[in-house]
Structure 1
Amino acid sequence: MVYYYTSNVVLPPAFIYVGKDKVENEELIKYGLEKDVWYYTMSRLLLPPFSYPSGFHVDNLSSAHVYLRLRDGETWDNIPEDILEDCAQLTKANSIEGNKKDNITVIYTPWSNLKKSAGMATGQVSFHNPKLVKKVFIPVRLNPVVNRLNKTKEEKYPDLREEKDEYMKKLGREERKLREERKAAEKREKKEREELRWQKEHAYDDLLNEENVLQSSNQDRDADFLDDFM
């Protein structure tokens, strides 16, 4: 089961989802999308090697595994502050221990930065690049934020593999369309350049033809023409 939330602090609304348990989170780790951001709540800063249960998550605390799906044009390092707070508060609220604590830190990183190695426990991950991890400090739980998000909560049983397959197919179609558009644009530009080059090379053709016609017409006249003219 996956819990879905909608954050209306931005337009268009942001989409947040949370795994029910560590088994479900294995699926989320495996079938996440490039535009997903992973959050994990911490009570103190961990030093490398990083190894946490999965989620928009809390250091050594049982915590929800929260993911933010970036909107079009958004990147993981320019997420609006209001959305960061929503995700962090939701993670804290869904941590059995973290929800009772103040002054915790939420870390977040792109889904693509999650590293799952053989031998890791269920739901456990590390990072490919620790430098791609950011932090949000949460002094206290903000009930108005948590209550607002809980009102949008939906429980669903998605086929995560199928969803990812469809997403990848859509990306493939979009990439093919862009390639075709680029090729068409390049073809048009090439044709325009050739036409412009031809115009430059033949800019004086009409004038030269007129001179040739005039010379030719005078050469064809006999001597009597000049006598008659004079």
Structure 2
Amino acid sequence: MVFYFKALPEAGDYTIFMGLDKHENEELIKYGFPEDIWFHVDKMSSAHVYLRLNKGQTIDDINEGLLEDCAQLVKANSIQGNKVNNVDVVYTPWFNLKKTPSMDVGQVGFHNPKMVRTVKVEKRINEIVNRLNKTKVERKPDLKAEREAVNAVERAERKAQLRDKKKREELERLEKEKQSEIRSYKSLMVSEKMTSNKQIASANKSLQELEDDFM
């Protein structure tokens, strides 16, 4: 089971989601999207909350309202973190999550700790948490199928880009050959290398002169 929430409309059309439990979190870790941003209360047990950005966006594109929604939601879904003030929420791109066989279910590390950011949440803001909970929808998605569908689209896009690249390269090659032929033709038309009809006539005897010589 995955829970989906809608962010503050003013922040943009974004979906925030989290797994029902640590086993669901394993699936979310395994089949995430490149645009997903992972949130968790630092040094405390909490839900794994994800924000799905639009294609092409990065962690730098998260605006203040969107960040606050995600931070409040992850704090509210931490048993310990929900009871105290001034908690730190860490967040990082999904592809920075590191999972090794020795880790417990739902546990993650980071490939690059420098890509992990922190935002401090002073206190729970019920207005935000209640608004998000009103948008909550429960679904049982096939995360693997969704990831494979995205992979198929990305492969098709890469193939199309490769075809376009090869086509451009072939057109450029043909244009270079054409320009080379034009330059070669122009070099043959240089006046110093050309012979006029008058020059040809002066260099050869007339028909009458040839007959006189023969006689």
If the length of structure 1 is used for normalisation, what is the TM-score?
Answer: 0.78
User: How many residues are aligned here?
Assistant: 206
1:39 correspondence with 2:39: yes
Equivalent residues in 2 for 1:48-67, closer than 5 Å: 59-61=43-45, 63-67=46-50
Q: Could you give the per-residue CA deviations for residues 17-56 of structure 1, whole angstroms, max 9, x where no partner exists? A: 11111111111111112221111113xxxxxxxxxxxxxx
Q: Could you say which residue in structure 2 is the equivalent of 1:51?
A: none
Q: In the aligned structure 2, how far is the partner of 1:126 from the partner of 1:74? A: 23
Amino acid at match of 2:92: T
Preserved contact between residue 69 and residue 128 of structure 2 (Cα < 8 Å)? yes
Q: Deviations for 1:173-195, whole angstroms, at most 9, x for unmatched residues?
A: 11111111111111112222222
Aligned to 1:3: 3
Measured on the aligned residues, the alpha-carbon RMSD in Å equals 2.5
CA distance in 1, matches of 2:50, 2:153: 21
Listed one character per residue, the Cα deviations across residues 38-78 of structure 1 (whole Å, up to 9, x for unaligned) are 11113xxxxxxxxxxxxxxxx223x2210112212211244
Question: Rg larger in 1 or in 2?
Answer: 2
Q: Distance in 2 between matches of 1:65 and 1:19?
A: 7
Q: Which residue of 2 aligns with 1:179?
A: 162
User: C-alpha distance in 1, partners of 2:114/2:157?
Assistant: 31
Say if 1:218 and 1:159 are closer, same or farther in 2 by CA, change over 3 A.
same
Aligned residue for 1:55?
none
Matches within 5 A, 1:120-139: 120-139=103-122
User: Residue 78 of structure 2: SS of its match in structure 1?
Assistant: coil
Cα deviation, 1:176-223, whole Å, max 9, x if unaligned, reads: 111111111111122222222222222255566xx5463477457948
Secondary structure of 1:96's partner? coil
Q: Which runs of 4+ in 1 moved over 4 A?
A: 204-208
* Structure ranking higher in helix proportion: 2
Distance 2:158 2:33 in 1: 16
The amino acid that maps onto 1:125 is: V
Instruction: Please list every run of 5 or more consecutive structure 1 residues that lacks an aligned counterpart in the other structure.
Output: 43-58, 225-230
**Residue 118 (structure 1) aligns with:** 101
Residue 218 to residue 71, structure 1, CA distance change in 2 (3 Å): same
Give the corresponding residue for 2:15: 15
Identity %: 43
Please give the residue correspondences for 1:148-187 in structure 2 after superposition, counting only pairs within 5 Å.
148-187=131-170
**CA separation in 1, counterparts of 2:16 and 2:162?**
32
TM-score norm. by structure 2 comes to 0.83
